[in-house]
Amino acid sequence: MIDDIKENKECQLKDPMDLFHSGQLVKICAPMVRYSKLAFRTLVRKYSCDLCYTPMIVAADFVRSAKARDSEFTTNKGDHPLIVQFAAKEAQVLCDAARIICPFADGIDLNCGCPQRWAISEGYGACLINKPELVKDMVRHVRSQIDNPKFSVSIKIRIHEDLKRTVDLCQKAEAAGVSWITVHGRSIEERHQPVHYDAIKIIKQSMSIPVVANGDIKSLTDAENVHHLTEADGIMVARGLLANPAMFAGYEETPFQCIQDWVDIALEHGTPFTCFHHHLMYMMERITSKQEKKVFNVLSSTSAVLDYLNDHYGLG
């Protein structure tokens, strides 16, 4: 995919920091495994999403394998500003991945927040919050090796039980030249416990770079409330956007036009059926009855889904 876009792509790049300097709350689609791919990014951009992240990509695989690059990363000229999130544990590997992606994306993000066991056992994700010197080194290396000063280098973290350690990590990253920091307001062990928005506020007050708040934001009202609670410069949303890709435009539930837009975009992009269907299941969760879900959720082909949407909603 990289070769396909090389010719007409480089002039389309944007400076993501312009968003943070606009004075407006920056609305961001989170990196989501399997879900924050090009077709879905195209959809949320239609509904007031300012900045999108790719799903997390393992940098070592991306550098080593052209096949991995082609399967993990697709983009087009409308897909900006775009941040590519990498899992990495070695500075030079992250630099090599950043150099490859630099002509086609507007920045990279280092994942320091994934709590999944496989990631932590490999030395990726949330275990990096306990290695502030390594994070600092990785950020500094990318900063020094990428010539484009507008190319952003950000990190996404979870918090420590002892918040002083989180502030120290963030200040070390800031000193190394990180562009902004996204804070998921839970510790590694916490999954569904309430988000510590007070902790995000303390981190924000300790930094002079932008801070993005993440965790349990399900509507535009939630986003505005969290913005006021934390003083964060941006709001990053994952599951809330899966359930309602139009939430940043102020819709309380997924409008039918958004469902139609997803069908059109997904078919145009050749989205695999499972992904196409799963997105619709998320989007229609709040607007379908249990009985309707029993029927819709077991459909097994694109044509069956299109027939169902046409018969029940006049869509498709």
**Catalytic residue ranges:** 114
Q: Has 226 been labeled as part of a binding site?
A: no
Q: Has 171 been labeled as part of a binding site?
A: no
The identity of residue 86, as a single letter, is: F
Report the alpha-carbon distance of residue 108 to residue 88 in Å, rounded: 11
Q: Has 32 been labeled as part of a binding site?
A: yes
Q: Has 81 been labeled as part of a binding site?
A: no
Q: Has 139 been labeled as part of a binding site?
A: no
Task: Name the β-bridge partners of 53.
Answer: 83
What secondary structure does DSSP assign to 185-243, as a single string? SS-SS-SSSPP-HHHHHHHHHT-SS-EEEESS--SHHHHHHHHHHH--SEEEESHHHHH
Q: Has 140 been labeled as part of a binding site?
A: no
Q: At what angle do helices 256-269 and 273-283 cross, to 10 degrees?
A: 170
Q: Has 263 been labeled as part of a binding site?
A: no
Report the alpha-carbon distance of residue 157 to residue 255 in Å, rounded: 32
Q: Which residues are annotated as a binding site for FMN?
A: 31-33, 85, 184, 238-239
Q: Which residues are annotated as a binding site?
A: 31-33, 85, 184, 238-239
